[in-house]
Amino acid sequence: MMCVNFFLHISMKIFRRQITTKSDIAHLELSFEPDVVFLFVSLSYEGVEESLTEITKRYPRAIIIGGTTVGEIIGREVVDGTIALAAVHFESTKIQLYGVDLPAEADEIYATGKSFANDIDQSNLKHLFILSDVQTLSASDLLKGLSDNLKGEIGVTGGLAGRSTYIDSNFIIENGELKRNRIVALGLYGDSLQVNYNARGGWDSYGVECLVTKSSNNRILEVDGRPALDFYKSRIPSNIFNDVDNEGFKYPIKVRNEQHTNPVIRALLSVDEDEKSLIMSEEIPEGSYVRIMRGNIDRLIYGAETSAKTIIERNDNDHQLAILISCAGRRKVMGDLVSDEIVAVMDQFPEHTKSIGFYSYGEISPFYGYKTTSLHNLTMCITTFSES
């Protein structure tokens, strides 16, 4: 007797809209009651609190979450000055929102992540989608505390709210309210939920791997026993130092260590000429191995495309919703061609896949095939959801 298994694809209901002014909200027409509304909000959008109030009134039963962006992704486009909205109804997946304040002291951030994980109901939890306005320097410790206290089969993806050059310009949205110094996690529960994710940068190696022999927090002081800035200057074009705060994104550093056996990209934020140090986006511990990378627009687009292609080729899920989170630094490097990476990603998915997302100050995702999540810089991270 032959046994045949049939898998029924259940369509999540998804509605997307680009909101340019508060008046657009009055014209939102949904044919369903949403369970969750994602809102990715431009830093330049005017009247955000009034708009949040209106959206909350329209969908009082929905969980409403989101955060600020350095560019909104909707469909196959990157736009500015708007709110990218996606309303989603799940057929059988249960959802729950969790949130906690961030500590004032950096040395308490790991413990906060740990206690946050302990407060989350992990029974039948399939995935956590998290958003935070935590400063990038503390984000890895927050994620480590969270991940160390989650069951191994639970996936974690998300992003850090985009900001301008000054602290506290960004925020997150929790149940329709604007919040700062906070992390929120959308828990998705149930066996019918299918989640896939991947992270890929597309950066090219630009030199050999070297050892960090001295560092302090996010400052690399010595590489292979020589001043870190001298090491860096010996390998990249000198014109980068005319505007290192902007041009340094083109030559980030790949880091491999005990915490990141799969290397991650870290952005160069600035340099200290007196100290001859490199100021990075995250802590780089002594004993890490580093390699300078180089950005080529075609290769970055190909990296984003490959991130999506890997998801498609290695499973047969329906990928009904795709949340794309890419880096503000990638946008700087790609300039007017930034939408090309979104098009390259969406070309890999079925036509029915609905996409939304944002350009962030830190991307959160495991690599494909792994459960342990990582904080990324300058990377395209993709999370897809479907039900069956």
- Helix H, strand E, coil C: the string for 175-203 is CCEEECCEEEEEEEECCCEEEEEEEECCC
The radius of gyration computed from the CA coordinates of the chain, to the nearest angstrom, equals 21
User: In the chain, what are the domain boundaries?
Assistant: 13-200+298-387, 204-293
Type of residue at 303: G
pLDDT at residue 10, as a whole number: 62
In the sheet that holds 72-74, the strands lie side by side as: 77-79, 72-74, 354-360, 321-327, 380-387, 193-200
Q: What is the mean pLDDT of each run of 10 residues along the chain (388 residues)?
A: 43 95 95 98 95 97 97 98 98 97 94 97 97 90 95 94 77 96 97 96 94 96 97 92 88 91 91 96 94 96 97 94 97 96 98 97 93 94 96
Instruction: Report pLDDT for 9.
Output: 52
List the structure tokens of 283.
Answer: 């802590």
pTM attached to this predicted model:
0.95
Cα–Cα dist 58/288, whole Å? 50
- Alpha carbon distance 335, 71 (integer Å): 12
Residues with Cβ within 8 Å of residue 350, at least 6 apart in sequence:
318, 319
Q: Answer whether 267's CB lies under 8 Å from 252's CB.
A: yes
Q: Are 141 and 103 in contact (CB under 8 A)?
A: no
* Spatial contact of 277 and 244, defined as CB atoms under 8 Å apart: no
Residues ≥6 apart with Cβ < 8 Å to 291? 205, 206, 207, 208, 209, 210, 253, 254, 263
d(CA 153, CA 72): 30
Burial status of residue 64 (CB atoms within 10 A of its CB: 0-12, 13-18, 19 or more): buried
Dihedral (CA of 260, 265, 271, 277) sign = positive
User: Is the CB of residue 52 less than 8 Å from the CB of residue 38?
Assistant: no
pLDDT of residue 6: 39
The rounded distance, in Å, linking the Cα atoms of 146 and 129 is 12
